Amino acid sequence: MDDFTFKEIQPFIFLLIGLGSVLFAIFKKSNKANLKNTGQKAEGIIYALDQSSNSYNSNSQNLSIKDKVTVRFLTMDKQWITGDLEQEFAAFFTRQYKEGDTVELYYDPKEPSNFFVDTRQSEKTSRIIFAAIGIVLGSVGLYQLLSQ
């Protein structure tokens, strides 16, 4: 068997990652986004901004990025719900929210802890960016494959 080099399979890796990214962006169903059509509308507040446990731990509080958003809202049944914001295809940029900001959200009346915040950026934009990165990676792989 000849000596194996990474360069031989590199185009296929780029193609695979690119194709996977495009397919993921197109076909991945966003479960919580469906709540915008089927859920109960409510107004919530940004209860807390924290640094998530898997983030880089900085000694200086001023340099730490607060990437964990906790939301609190009152349901129609007068039940307080407090939970972390977890949304697919949502790219939260630094300082998008401040503690005390009001947000529009939609929740499942049967399970109020399942909620969707109507963010300031579009899910479609995130999907397009994800697909564009996939197209670029796939194109690089295709170019490398054809130029061999």
Task: Please give the Cα distance from 32 to 21 (Å, whole number).
Answer: 20
Task: Tell me what the mean pLDDT of segment 115-144 comes to.
Answer: 86
Which is more confident, 30 or 105?
A: 105
Q: pLDDT confidence of 60, banded at 50, 70, 90?
A: very low
The yes-or-no verdict on residue 94 having pLDDT over 50 is: no
Longest dimension (CA), the chain: 70
Task: Tell me what the mean pLDDT of segment 111-121 comes to.
Answer: 81
Q: pLDDT confidence of 143, banded at 50, 70, 90?
A: very high
Contacts by 95-99, CB closer than 8 A, 24 or more apart: 96/120, 97/46, 97/49, 97/69, 98/46, 98/49, 99/46, 99/47, 99/48, 99/49
Q: What is the pLDDT of residue 69?
A: 82
Q: pLDDT confidence of 18, banded at 50, 70, 90?
A: very high
pTM: 0.61
Q: pLDDT confidence of 75, banded at 50, 70, 90?
A: very high
Q: What is the pLDDT of residue 63?
A: 46
The yes-or-no verdict on residue 146 having pLDDT over 80 is: yes
Task: Please give the Cα distance from 108 to 99 (Å, whole number).
Answer: 24
